[in-house]
Chains A and B, each alone.
Chain A
């Protein structure tokens, strides 16, 4: 009864982490969206570089909800169908700020490091 995912887990964990950040940012920038809307925006923003299965968005959404960074509410979508809308919460905004800072710091360090190598 083991749930061995092995190496795939490592890669998917990294992607899930950045996906969380992207979803938070999307919700902060665009306001409440439903799952499909979030997937479409992500596709747009990444200019179709991000070819991930759209189901993974829901894994992130579940996790974000569990941490209390987003809240959900049933509402009517554009074509008047029932859809669950997600919005960012106050603690979600704080988390977004934290993660953005972390990301910028890390990417800055790696950037400098990579540039350093070329200066031989």
Chain B
């Protein structure tokens, strides 16, 4: 039962993308019925046109039936969405000025968002390029008034040798001005920023 339901749902989903041959088939079926009805009326001594007319009238509204068929075959939500999108496209085409304004606004908004995110991603969100970056911590000394300050070199050595809580420790010299190194080369030189780091 559930399998059959799923099968039907799958069928409906496929019907959203492919052309529906069922519609033509159904149309042919109904036309044949009307034709047979007309034949029956002909045998009752009506003219061909009158018979056809009577047959169509007796049969009823084929358009409504086609609609019933369509309702059964599709996913109503998607068809509604498709209709709305077509309508929106039609409206936009008729108001190019408005469309242009909307596009520019969207473009600016998306562009700004993407730029800011890229910067934040590179600087804040990406983990440090080390193994197990969540285990890296920064140690500082705290003064009497509570502010953090640099670690004295002697203290660093003591901490590194005596501490058992840390698997390794390295010292980084944060310069007040970025120390620049000149990387000389055959074709071009470049200036790099860097700091002094001890091995760990």
| Chain A residues near B (Cβ < 8 Å) | 1, 35-36, 39, 53-56, 58-59, 62-63, 66, 68, 81-84
Contacts and interface: CB of A to CB of B under 8 A. Distances in A.
B62 A55 contact: yes
**Chain B contact residues: helix, strand, loop or mixed:** helix
Contacts of B32: 36, 81-83
Contacts of A54: 33, 37, 58-60
A66 B70 CA distance: 12
B28 to A, nearest CB: 8
A36 B35 CA distance: 10
A17 to B, nearest CB: 15
B69 interface: yes
Interface in B54-98: 58-62, 64-65, 68-69, 72, 83
Give the bracket for the number of chain B residues in contact with chain A: 20 to 34
A6 to B, nearest CB: 15
Contacts of A39: 33
15 contacts: A1-B83, A35-B29, A36-B37, A39-B33, A53-B59, A54-B59, A55-B59, A55-B60, A55-B61, A58-B26, A59-B68, A62-B65, A81-B32, A82-B28, A84-B29
